[in-house]
């Protein structure tokens, strides 16, 4: 099984547990590693045989922008659920980084692994 990845997808989100955070946009950076068999796409050259990372990226942006969020853990779980339901990936690692969460840190984040990875 192969891996298709999207690294550093930036999405401006309404996210946080504090009231003031629900009134502003903050950047999130999303990293995805998705299990996928690339053999058929490599042979055919047809995007329909591939995991369309542009479509995956659009899905992630639309999901995050669709509503306010409390925790980055929520975001990660919902992304993973969508990867399974909409793109039928057999496994995924989803990392959500929030660089503005802790002033003394470059970023904080969570990574989850779901399915066969």
What is the pLDDT averaged over residues 6-34?
98
Sort 13 into a burial class: Cβ within 10 Å, 0-12 / 13-18 / 19+. buried
Q: Is 7 a catalytic residue?
A: no
Written as six digits, the tokens of 59 are 């899905």
CATH architecture of the domain covering 2-115: 2-Layer Sandwich (3.30)
* Phi, psi of 12, rounded to the nearest 5 degrees: -85, 125
* pLDDT at residue 32, rounded to an integer: 99
What is the pLDDT averaged over residues 26-46?
97
What is the pLDDT averaged over residues 3-25?
98
* pLDDT at residue 25, rounded to an integer: 98
What is the pLDDT averaged over residues 107-116?
98
Q: Which of 7, 10, 40, 98 is catalytic?
A: 98
* pLDDT at residue 11, rounded to an integer: 99
8 pLDDT band (50/70/90 cuts)?
very high
Q: Which helix (H) or strand (E) holds 8?
A: strand 2-13
* pLDDT at residue 23, rounded to an integer: 97
* pLDDT at residue 55, rounded to an integer: 98
Do the Cβ atoms of 75 and 25 come closer than 8 Å? no
């Amino acid at each position: 099984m192969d891996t298709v990845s999207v690294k550093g997808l930036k999405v401006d989100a309404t996210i946080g547990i504090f009231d003031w955070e629900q009134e502003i946009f903050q950047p999130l950076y999303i990293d995805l590693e998705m299990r996928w068999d690339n053999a058929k796409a490599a042979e055919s050259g047809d995007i329909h045989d591939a995991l369309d990372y542009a479509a995956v990226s659009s899905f992630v942006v639309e999901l995050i922008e669709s509503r306010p969020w409390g925790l980055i853990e929520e975001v990660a779980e919902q992304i993973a659920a969508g990867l399974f339901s909409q793109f039928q990936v057999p496994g995924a690692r989803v990392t959500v980084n929030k660089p503005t969460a802790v002033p003394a840190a470059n970023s904080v984040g969570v990574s989850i692994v779901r399915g066969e990875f």
